[in-house]
A and B are shown apart, each in its own frame.
Chain A
Amino acid sequence: MNIDFQNQSMTFKKSYEEINEKIRKGKAVVLTAEEVSAMARELSPSEIVKRVDVVTTATFGAMCSSGAILNFGHTTPPMRMERITLNGVPCHGGLAAVDTYIGATSENPDNIRYGGAHVIQELVEGKSVELEAWGKGTDCYPRKYIKTKISLETINEATLFNPRNAYQNYNVATNTTSKIKYTYMGTLLPGMKNANYSTAGELSPLLNDPEMRTIGIGTRIFLGGTVGYVVWPGTQFNTSKEKNIFDVPMSNAATIAVIGNLKEMNAEFLRAAYYEKYGVSLFVGIGLPIPILDEDLAHRVSIRNEQIETTILDYGTAGTPVLGRTNYAELQSGMININGKKVRTAPVASLQKAREIADLLKKSIQNGKFELAAPVAMFPTGTSLKKLFESEGGEK
């Protein structure tokens, strides 16, 4: 390793270009976030920054704010598709003539267990789906109706574009009421008989670079089995959530908007889900590499499960009141303590798949197949969320 003696007493720094040069030569040292957290028990950040070039993070969870932009190609005579369904699932019209956006959570009204996520998964699996579209007919787009089959091979572009993915941290859900609750956080048994969590803890992307010094517009990531990009702060991007002494937010805070070529994706990392009495969602696999540019980033990626806290909410009660705090070491142990009561925990996102993604990304970087992209613009700071009020009868 090339260590500049002048720098040894000062803070050691690396540039993206230096790291990419090592990646191209197959010499980059890459660890997963779990591996570096274990290493940090022995080594200080100033030692880690000298030894490690890239740390891979990952998550594989249900991300409702996901969907795909599709362009079907024009018919002869042409048609302006104003109302569109794919396998009976309503897609968005109002995007020119043959463009659409299919949201993962859109449901087939005749079969609410089947939705946009299922259409996306089937397309990725190479299957054909039925397109049905209606238009009023115009002089330049005279056709009024079409019913046909499409697949990823027959259409022009297919782009996965997810407005809000990879929440920095997420709440734990439990249910204090006497009735079973069916939620996007899973089935919550009455009387606080279980508590469900979704974040991958120390492996979770946005918890390993909580200030997002390396995550911004243009960051290259693993998305659904192929290369994708961070394109914008995710919706509901909130940097104002309370942080703990380890400087990580203790509830859902920052998010990312991501994009990638659906035609290159793999259903191993993009899976449709249906939650009882809730609806359809999409499990999305995201892997995010963090370049260890300096000691501060080495320190950030060293964070361990017991240092990452999150908030326990009662999903059974309106307003989801706070019941307490816990951390990911406790959550992953299978049991947490909520106000003196021992409650069994269960994950609702796959740590096994997240690890698989972190490993795949690590190997791609080690093999010189995946270089890091420095953000072209950074995310905003000091953001917080607005509530939606009714204009009449609601609070002002």
Chain B
Amino acid sequence: MIEITRRYVMKFPPDSADKALTYKLIKDFDIKFSILKAEVRPGRTGSLLLEMEALPENIQKGIEYLEANDVACEPLGKKIKFEAGKCINCGNCTGVCFTGALTMDREQWKLNFEPELCVVCELCVAACPMNLFDINFHEEEPEKIIAID
């Protein structure tokens, strides 16, 4: 069997802070992982971009374990929305993409997008003059700030 590499965006529920969930990924499922991006909102939720390297069935079991503990797991590709049909192949996004997820095909001068290489730096979101990228890494809606009397 060959180990594979997969990137997932995981959303942790507010009460998961005291559980060693990611530790179990290593210990029980033999998953090597790198944290590419993390955002912890104390008392609320946390978001994690995890690159996992393991046998395919172990990644599968690890995801099932996390989901059983109310962690929402989605492949990175599904969290990035790109309206390819409106792209004019200008290349602005490739200038900021240091991981090589966005590159120009230097024959046809069309944009190549490989979401699996993305680390959710989100620079492309601002760099695209057509506003075609939408990355859902954070919480759905920022909570309203309640004024304290």
A-side residues, CB < 8 A to B, are: 60-62, 113, 182, 186-189, 193-194, 196, 271, 273-277, 281, 283, 332-334, 344-353, 355
CB neighbours (8 Å) of B94 from chain A are 346-347
Contacts of B147 in A (CB 8 A): none
* CB atoms of B130 and A352 under 8 A apart: no
Chain B residues numbered 84-101 whose CB sits less than 8 Å from any CB in chain A: 88-92, 94-96, 98
25 CB-based A-B contacts, threshold 8 Å:
A60-B88, A186-B95, A186-B127, A187-B92, A187-B126, A188-B95, A189-B96, A194-B96, A271-B130, A275-B129, A276-B126, A277-B126, A283-B129, A334-B106, A344-B95, A347-B91, A347-B94, A347-B104, A347-B109, A348-B91, A348-B95, A349-B91, A350-B90, A353-B89, A355-B109
Residues of chain B contacted by A61 (CB below 8 angstroms): 90
Known: A186-B92, A283-B90, A346-B95. A352 touches B108 (CB 8 A): yes
A187 contacts across to B, CB distance below 8 A? 92, 95-96, 123, 126-127
**B positions within 8 Å CB-CB of A:** 88-92, 94-96, 98, 104, 106, 108-110, 123, 126-127, 129-131
Task: List chain B residues, Cβ under 8 A from A350.
Answer: 88-91, 109
Q: How far is the CB of B127 from chain A (nearest CB, A)?
A: 4
In the complex, chain A residues whose CB is within 8 Å of the CB of B108: 352
Choose from A193, A274, A332 the contact partner of B98 (Cβ within 8 Å).
A193
A170 to B79, CA, bound (A): 37
Are B90 and A274 touching (Cβ within 8 A)? no
CA distance A276 to B126 in the complex (A): 6
A141→B129 CA distance, assembly (Å): 41
6 closest pairs, A vs B, by CB?
A: A346-B95, A273-B129, A347-B91, A276-B126, A351-B109, A352-B89
With both chains docked as a complex, state the minimum distance between the C-beta of B122 and any C-beta of chain A, in angstroms: 11
Residue of B89, B92, B130 ringed by the most chain A CB atoms within 10 A: B92
Inter-chain residue pair count (beta carbon < 8 A) = 79
Chain A residues whose C-beta falls within 8 Å of the C-beta of B109 in the assembled complex:
347, 350-352, 355
List B contacts of A349 (CB < 8 A): 90-91
CA distance A186 to B91 in the complex (A): 9
Q: Which residue of B is nearest A195, CB measured?
A: B95
Q: Which residues of B contact A273 (CB under 8 A)?
A: 129-130
State the CA gap A61–B129 with chains docked (Å).
11
- In the complex, A60→B89 CA distance in Å? 10
Contact yes or no, B96 A271, CB < 8 A: no
Closest to A354 in B: B109
- CA A347 – CA B123 in complex, angstroms? 16
Q: Is the CB of B98 within 8 A of A281?
A: no
Q: Is the CB of B88 within 8 A of A353?
A: yes
The docked-state distance in angstroms from the alpha carbon of A271 to that of B89 is 12
Q: Quick one: closest A residue to B110, CB to CB?
A: A352
Which single residue of chain A is at the shortest CB-CB distance from B93? A346
Bound-state CA distance A140–B90 (Å) is 50
CB distance from A105 to the nearest CB of B (A): 13
- Separation of A227 and B95 alpha carbons in the complex (Å): 33
Select one of A274, A281, A283, A346 contacting B91, CB under 8 A.
A346
In the bound complex, residues from chain B placing their C-beta under 8 Å from that of A275 are 129
User: How far is B44's CA from A254's CA once the two chains are assembled, in angstroms?
Assistant: 57
CA distance A55 to B130 in the complex (A): 31
In whole angstroms, what is the CA distance A311 to B123 when docked? 26
**Residue pair A62, B129 in contact (C-beta under 8 Å):** yes
How far is A334 from B102 in the complex, measured between Cα atoms in Å?
A: 13
Q: How far, in whole Å, are A348 and B94 apart by their CA atoms in the complex?
A: 9
Given pairs A186-B127, A273-B129, 8 additional interface contacts (CB within 8 A): A62-B90, A187-B92, A189-B96, A332-B106, A346-B92, A346-B96, A350-B89, A355-B109
CA distance A346 to B131 in the complex (A): 18
CB B104 to nearest CB in A, in angstroms, measures 7
Smallest beta-carbon distance B105→chain A, Å: 9
Q: Which of A189, A271, A346 has the most CB of B within 10 A?
A: A346
